Amino acid sequence: MTGIGSVSSVQPGDVDAEVSQRALRRIKDYLAKHPVEPEMIEVMVEHGEPSLVLPRPVVTLFAQILAQLAEGRGVSVIPSQAEVTTQQAADLLGVSRPYVVGLLEDGVIPHRKVGRHRRILLTDLLEYKRTDDEQRRKAADELGDLGQELGI
């Protein structure tokens, strides 16, 4: 039996996109026919095995994963309370590791130290990214407006 780790990934091409698309359609059809109930969904399994009973939010998440796989994209599932290293944070933000360290030292992104190493909650990092992206869009819109005012 394969163990379940804290981070699981499926690379593009690991799963047939057509199979994912068919499974996604069946799940979406079921969820559309039963928009609220049941809270627990029974999934029939082949080969005489007992059925699986899954919480509705898990089935919805599974449908989102299948949608990405059907588009030929890879998917990673990471626990909400996962922590990342400064290098992983830099990779996610598309910046250098020293830049991330500066953000941490300036208190822009919360973190904790494990020995000499810094750890960042993924939720905190994603919140910073969302806020930063929003500020960048706002600045770009303001520059566009200014350019139009100046006739550029």
Q: What pLDDT band is residue 93 in, cutting at 50, 70 and 90?
A: very high
pLDDT at 5 over 70: no
pLDDT at 44 over 50: yes
The pLDDT tens digits of the residues spanning 108-122 come to: 999 999 999 999 999
pLDDT at 141 over 80: yes
HEC sequence for the chain: CCCCCCCEEECCCCCCHHHHHHHHHHHHHHHHHCCCCCCEEEECCCCCCCCEEEEHHHHHHHHHHHHHHHCCCCEEECCCCCEECHHHHHHHHCCCHHHHHHHHHCCCCCCEEECCEEEEEHHHHHHHHHHHHHHHHHHHHHHHHHHHHCCC
- Proportion of the chain above pLDDT 90, given as a percent: 62
pTM above threshold 0.75: no
Mean of the per-residue pLDDT values for the chain? 89
